[in-house]
Structure 1
């Protein structure tokens, strides 16, 4: 599989930057903290150990995708070192043997601890290395972590809801790695462990994630509303639903998706919160502000939740969200050097590269490497195109392999050409996602219009015996769109404050501007309330910008130039960008 275009450039920068420099072997800081000397001195209860597992997961995928032998050598060195550091009990963390924050400590329920969290990422990382570069020692090490957790959580009865910060949410995330262990090994004890995690969360009053989701509760009210941990827990519930055929778990995950999409998502696809609260938690569902904080870890978890719900339901809306988030919030949080990331991004705010140990740097890196396998997928005995990007893939179907080669300038342009070839004489369906914004989309095969009417937000199915030379062409009209939002304050039923805003979109891209007129962070503009899109026109992109740029021509002032959100401010640290523009509707 290969990825080109904007996504390919971001993925390539990530591989050359973060994956090739942050960790190179056991001597790298995020791995050296697992050494005997470092462990024996660590009583702090910190979370820095997560980076090793995250990096293993991401780097193993990148090495497999790209064939990068130097990166693969580093993956093996790090995985082998971690295996060598595993204790006889199965423990593979960074806490001192007598630390109260160790998962084996009798005092862990009252301690500040990220130990279960770190082990969760080590399981995921080791299993991913084993998936692509199988060695019994890797899956055995992951299994031994699972054995230890089974002993502590199932046999000793220590609740995972008491083994993590944020009212237990940092412990409930262990649901997904427990299920990954079950799927990798077939050991029923790990499914029992996963069930115990759910039982733990449902018996802690502050959590009760499934029960409260089924009631329709606001996500801000579950636990302490910590976005990253909540969404990761819902990822586990979506996986659990698929394994157990449990409709309540699916309903809970779908509730989280609906709540996030309707109340807690920026136009660029980032789950936001943090206004007058902890910076990393949801705000109440009826509260909105143009400057909410999007932690890059939230963006990763949102992509993961959409990934699992897409696999579970096949609904095109989940693929659409992955695409929107990837092209806007995710790439918009990455520095072009491929190493630096923003901890927080804002619809309206300053770009800020974060510090060395920041969780978000590894999360953003991981989320980027998730994208390549999500572009295409096997679906209903055929192949689906989930996310549009230049690239290629060979997908196995029951009838045989289908090869796709995509040529496009998407997301900058709406013309997509897909060369398709398949097994001789076999009819194979091709499922093409029609974006929800693409009214008037057209589909043709070998120059002839395809039968049927493409419907925005749905799949378009083509089935035939594909042969070398066949080409599918999709045309997606990319008219500018204006999204409206209002910040309203009320005293009882009386509206006492109202501020109206607009955001500019085109195709899958959200747009933003830098400092208006070179110095203003915001300015109220006048626009007609009817068809304001008529005041938007193509513009010359600023120097260094890819574009395409758009000019908004408000009433009574010079045009304001917008570029795609990811590159507003020149993709430079400490530069301002604004998506939401105050507006006085005329």
Structure 2
């Protein structure tokens, strides 16, 4: 500890000596901890420019939402400190916004963006109490309600800012914040496991595991590592809320359905597993990775709905089987974002392309559909039938809801996983039109992705290293892409669905990769066994929208072709009507495809639309006729955010077009409200 001149010692009371000791102890430990389990894939850190549909979504989110945020509104609650209980979570907004603003500034670095972040951090640190506390709760209510949850987001915001700028003042303040939490819980004999909201078994407080481990990674302060391990150890023991223990690790390893794990609060539970991923990196304990993978795979089996999200009323709900039903508050945007962040963790740790497949499905569907067309707002919940409804501000003084603050974090994560790095290799995960540059094996590699994917199926990647060299370029072959054409400099290459095509060769400027993924329309049957079907094209879920499919007195069936003229011996002479083609059971087990014809008369704010042949069957074998209906991408469906713009994904068989669209679903999304929510004006 540093020496203090005697003539000044009398000026320091015991309070400030204690703070000085904490600060000096913290600085002494300021050495990065070794990662015992390094990522197999690391995020891209070179230049990236994503274009097209996703690029536009990102640009509008940065310009109209993230960088338009009034930082004073999210900081004021930290200055006045008036919050007390479970109704108060203004404590989360600054950290959520800052983490998304850091992602925005990293992707689009401008002096204006950098200045805004610097101001927001400086103003927040002015609210830090002498004991290190940065929060919104009154002194007598500290550690109550959402307080620890809010401290988590403060830590995540400060850490992300430090990672971007290397401003040590942010990391030092984060250290003081965490030191105070550890000291106070110790002094008051409070376990984090027993802290927070009893209704959700304290999951919100326990999710602080992630930034605790991140602080250890950046400082090497063993106290943080021990605190993290102590938290997880307590998960296995009986506690205040969970009489048999939270047992997140054990239940993850068992692949227990998420609805049966602790309190089934989806967002907070996944946040805890993000922390488990970080703990695996620093501990090397394989059970943590096994638990995270088991939990995520159980989400895929039991909860992840067709558009890449889950939950109903913010809770796990056996959503895989329930998704064809009318759900009251389905697929919270916070759940979508956190699911994507967990998939990103697992992609980094395992290098398994499955998690990139999942990121892509969530990005193009659940996440993109939740954002308003101009990027200034988000929906709280995203239905599979009915209407899109914008989120209402949960705290009028701040002007935000949890999902409006959280949505950009999922969207702006995209450049981190679009192109990633391995050992002497680059991995291409996203095929949107884009430009990337990354250092690989000593060469500055520029990749130019020329495509209109997933609208069109041709993807051309121009490979331009600044010097010829041997390295690997790996391209994701999605699991749904069964029939593929893949060439390098016009030479065919063999590829396997659900894996990476790894091409190791002597690359030079002008080399070219061309990939044609399988974008046939796939018919999916309801996992519950209900007589309903849906259509996907590549990673994109299709839906009917009442701007292009009007209600009418007919019933239609979605069926794979070919249809034939079977049983014609029963038909009158000259009969030309279609009847069903009976398939054997073996064929029934295979993926069924449907022809998709591009629709040219779509509304301007619809990204992609296709005509699809349905079958009208007025009588058993006779007078069957083809009827063309238009289906558009899920993100565009209902994107007027109006009570008059209705859509649906899962199609009953038969679909009676008079009752195709469910009306007034905003009333069950926001029960008790007298007026339909609207996007707030700035």
Give the TM-score normalised by the residue count of structure 2: 0.77
Change (3 A) 1:157 1:307: farther
Conserved 8 A contact 1:153-1:196 = no
**Are 1:245 and 2:284 counterparts?**
yes
Flag the 1:341–1:415 CA change in 2: closer, same or farther, 3 A. same
Distance 1:456 1:92, change over 3 A: same
Match of residue 331, structure 1, among 358, 364, 368 = 368
Q: Is 1:301 matched up with 2:338? A: yes
**1:189 matched residue in structure 2:** 223
Aligned match of 2:55 = 8
Shift of 1:517: 4.4
Give me the whole-angstrom Cα distance separating, in 2, the residues matched to 1:86 and 1:246. Answer: 35
1:435–1:456 contact (8 Å) kept in structure 2: yes
Give the C-alpha shift of residue 321 in structure 1: 0.5
Aligned partners of 1:545 and 1:563 also within 8 Å: no
Larger-gyration structure (1/2)? 2
Q: Select 2:427's aligned residue among 380, 384, 387.
A: 384
From 113, 119, 127, the counterpart of 1:71? 113
Distance 1:534 1:507, change over 3 A: closer
Note if 1:179 corresponds to 2:179: no
Q: Which residue of 2 aligns with 1:163?
A: 195
Q: Superposition RMSD on alpha carbons, in Å?
A: 2.3
Q: Map Cα deviations across residues 81-128 of structure 1 (whole Å, 9 max, x no partner).
A: 1111111111100011122xx12xxxx4xxxx1111111111111111
Shift of 1:539: 2.9
Cα displacement string for residues 512-543 of structure 1 (whole angstroms, at most 9, x for unaligned residues): 11238434899763635758634654433522
1:19 maps to what in 2?
66
Q: Provide closer, same or farther for how the CA distance between residues 283 and 74 of structure 1 changes in structure 2, counting only shifts above 3 A.
A: same
- Which whole-Å CA distance do the structure 2 matches of 1:510 and 1:285 have between them? 17
Match of residue 534, structure 2, among 467, 489, 503? 503
- Segments of structure 1 that go 5 or more residues without pairing to the other structure are 489-498
1:320 CA displacement: 0.7
The question of whether the paired residues in 2 share the 8 Å contact of 1:62 and 1:369 is answered with: yes
- Superposition TM-score, scaled by structure 1 size: 0.89
Range moving further from structure 2, 357-366 or 573-582: 573-582
Distance 1:541 1:177, change over 3 A: farther
2:629 paired residue number: 560
Q: 2:647 aligns with which of 574, 577, 583?
A: 577
Q: Is the 8 A contact 2:450 2:460 kept in 1?
A: yes
Write the distance in 2 (CA, Å) between the matches of 1:353 and 1:307.
27
Deviation per residue, 1:185-206 (Å, 9 max, x gap): 2222211121122123222325
CA separation of 1:190/1:522 partners in 2, compared to 1, >3 Å: closer, same or farther? farther
Q: Does 2:410 correspond to 1:367?
A: yes
Aligned length, in residue pairs: 552
Q: Is the 8 A contact 1:541 1:547 kept in 2?
A: no
**Alpha carbons of 1:399 and 1:130: their partners in 2 closer, same or farther (altered >3 Å)?**
same
Among residues 156, 178, 183, which one is paired with 1:151 in the alignment?
183
Instruction: Report the secondary structure of 2:375's partner residue.
Output: coil
Distance 1:480 1:80, change over 3 A: same
Structure with larger RCO (C-alpha < 8 A, sep 6+): 2
1:168–1:223 CA contact under 8 A, matched in 2: no
Structure 1 residues 155, 188: closer, same or farther in 2, change over 3 A? farther
Q: 3-state SS of the aligned residue for 1:555?
A: strand
CA contact (8 A) 2:379 2:404 kept: yes
SS of the residue 2:526 aligns to:
strand
Q: 1:286 to 1:336 in 2, by over 3 A?
A: closer
Provide the C-alpha distance between the structure 1 equivalents of 2:214 and 2:552, rounded to a whole number of angstroms.
50
The structure 2 residue matched to 1:321, chosen from 342, 345, 358, is: 358
1:68 shift after superposition: 2.6
Give the Cα–Cα distance (whole angstroms) in 1 for the partners of residues 602 and 146 of structure 2. 45
Q: Is 1:43 matched up with 2:75?
A: no
Closer, same or farther: CA 268–285 of 1 in aligned 2, 3 Å: closer
The equivalent of 2:169 in structure 1 is 137
- Of 502, 510, 516, 1:469 maps to 510
